[in-house]
Amino acid sequence: MDEAVEPPARTVLLGVAESDAHAVANRLIEMQLRGHGIEVVNLGVCTPLSEFAEAFAAHPDAEAVIIGSLNGHALEDLRDLPRLRAAGHIACPVIVGGNLSVGSHKSEDDDERRLRAVGVDHVLRDATQLPLLLDLLAGARLASDPGEPGGGVHRVLAR
């Protein structure tokens, strides 16, 4: 008789960039992810990167750090990300989304290039894509784990 295998608990760290007090999207994303079966450690608004690092220390199995920004100052707020990542204080994918720059002449490609240069792994323009991205990341992580029985990719993506 086969025993049902419980999928591993999934946790993400969510917050709004340090200089940003926009809370509505943050709460909507939290609700969306919880509805998708993902535990959310919501750090709230005006969250410095040091608090994301502290949360990662408390939740080392977190599958992603998700940072929202609507005021356009994400790049400035993430200036310490390279140092924190190099020190292993944030050792999971970092996903950033929202309004990512200020000014009337914006280039999404330039915004993404700059954010990737400081260590952001994924830039999302549409928060509805977040569950799919997290599923893909989880599937890739499970597929690379030789100890995962039965091919975790199919189980995670089947949710």
In a domain, 2, yes or no: no
- Active-site residue set: 20, 22
Please report, for the domain that includes residue 117, its CATH number: 3.40.50.280
In a domain, 29, yes or no: yes
48-107, pLDDT tens digit by residue?
A: 999 999 999 999 999 999 999 999 999 999 999 999 999 999 999 999 999 887 776 777
22-44, pLDDT tens digit by residue?
A: 999 999 999 999 999 999 999 99
Determine the Cα–Cα distance for residues 14 and 100; give it in Å rounded to an integer.
16
In a domain, 6, yes or no: no
Question: What is the domain range of residue 85?
Answer: 11-143
In a domain, 153, yes or no: no
In a domain, 115, yes or no: yes
In a domain, 155, yes or no: no
Mean pLDDT of 113-121: 96
In a domain, 99, yes or no: yes
In a domain, 121, yes or no: yes
When divided into structural domains, the chain yields a total of 1
